């Protein structure tokens, strides 16, 4: 009896991904995502994040091996070559990814909760500067942060929007979060903070009627928020698989030494 894991193939609807899937479909037997031990995802980073979010919603968490047949592919492996997919998966390194959970309350008192694998960001909705009170573990650390907004990023997300906002790149396994202001006006020289993953971050919107703010957990948006609380969820840990020498950690190192 074979000890190979049962694999499910999940493919983006892009023409490039669909074309790349044809030979894979013929290379071996595939099962449904529910039956599988490992999910093989073909597409780009956006599609991979979509699949990871669906797993969180489905409440079953399985290792994911991504193949880049999209645009960026930072979270993906290279396209398949002459090595079988089962061999590549057998040799792959496992990278744990702990999502954030955003708990948001809008100005009407409605409550929302969404997961974020990259980051949770708060953004001004109008030309008016956002003004936010920042609390860490229930203690006010900044009475007023004024600017375009602020974000909290995971190590995986630290090379995405967080890096564009001049936030720090966090090593995988650091169990840290990046708290990064977006175009801060006051305090003008504040560059943000690095927090332990165990920290609970809360934002309270000052003058919400005059200065409305939207909260975004990856792609899920809640407008006109009054408060936003963010906490990492260790019990919802995800697993990404990477080829040897093509690990996410190596790419994070490379980002830090670009000239």
| Exposed e or buried b per residue across 161-191, where buried means at least 16 C-beta atoms within 10 angstroms of its C-beta | bbbebebbebebeebbbbbbbbebeeeeeee
| Nearest alpha-carbon partner for 172 in 75, 69, 43, 38 | 75
Is 234 annotated to bind a ligand? Reply is no
Is 159 annotated to bind a ligand? Reply is yes
Task: Give φ, ψ of 82 to 5 degrees.
Answer: -80, -10
| Exposed e or buried b per residue across 51-70, where buried means at least 16 C-beta atoms within 10 angstroms of its C-beta | bbbebbeeeeebbbbbbbbb
Instruction: Find all residues with CB under 8 Å of 29, minimum gap 6, and list them.
Output: none
Task: Tell me the longest C-alpha to C-alpha distance in the chain.
Answer: 67
Is 50 annotated to bind a ligand? Reply is yes
Considering 3, 4, 37, 45, which one is annotated as catalytic?
45
Q: Quick one: tokens of 134?
A: 């920042």
**β-strands 119-124, 139-153 pairing:** antiparallel
DSSP assignment of 28-61 equals S----TTT-SEEEEEE-HHHHHHHHHHHHHHT--
| Measured distance CA(16)–CA(50) in Å, rounded | 18
- Catalytic-residue membership of 218: no
Is 160 annotated to bind a ligand? Reply is yes
Is 54 annotated to bind a ligand? Reply is no
Is 161 annotated to bind a ligand? Reply is yes
Is 66 annotated to bind a ligand? Reply is no
Count other C-beta atoms under 10 Å from residue 258's C-beta: 5
Residues classed as catalytic? 45
Q: Which residues are annotated as a binding site?
A: 45-46, 50, 118-119, 148, 156, 159-164
Q: Which residues are annotated as a binding site for NAD(+)?
A: 45-46, 50, 118-119, 148, 156, 159-164
């Amino acid at each position: 009896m074979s000890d190979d894991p049962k694999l499910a193939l999940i493919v983006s609807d892009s023409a490039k991904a669909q074309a790349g899937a044809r030979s894979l479909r013929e290379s071996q037997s595939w099962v449904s995502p529910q039956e599988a031990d490992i999910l093989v995802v073909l597409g780009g980073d956006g599609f991979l994040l979509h699949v990871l979010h669906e797993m969180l919603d489905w409440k079953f968490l399985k290792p994911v091996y991504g193949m880049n047949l999209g645009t960026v592919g930072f979270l993906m492996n290279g396209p398949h070559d002459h090595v079988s997919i089962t061999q590549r998966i057998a040799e792959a390194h496992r990278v744990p990814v702990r999502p954030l959970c955003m708990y948001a309350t809008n100005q009407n008192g409605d409550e929302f909760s969404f997961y974020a694998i990259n980051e949770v960001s708060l953004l001004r909705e109008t030309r008016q500067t956002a003004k936010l009170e920042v609390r860490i573990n229930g203690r006010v650390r900044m009475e007023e942060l004024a600017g375009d907004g602020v974000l909290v990023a995971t190590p995986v997300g630290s090379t995405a929007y967080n890096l564009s906002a001049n936030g720090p790149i966090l090593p995988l396994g650091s169990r840290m979060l990046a708290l990064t202001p977006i175009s801060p006006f006051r305090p003008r020289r504040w560059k943000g903070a690095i927090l332990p993953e165990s920290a609970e971050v809360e934002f309270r919107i000052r003058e919400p009627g005059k200065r409305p703010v939207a909260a975004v957990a990856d792609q899920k948006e809640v407008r006109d928020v009054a408060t936003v609380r963010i906490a990492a969820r260790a019990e919802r840990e995800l697993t990404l698989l990477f080829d040897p020498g093509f690990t996410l950690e190596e790419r994070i190192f490379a980002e830090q030494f670009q000239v």
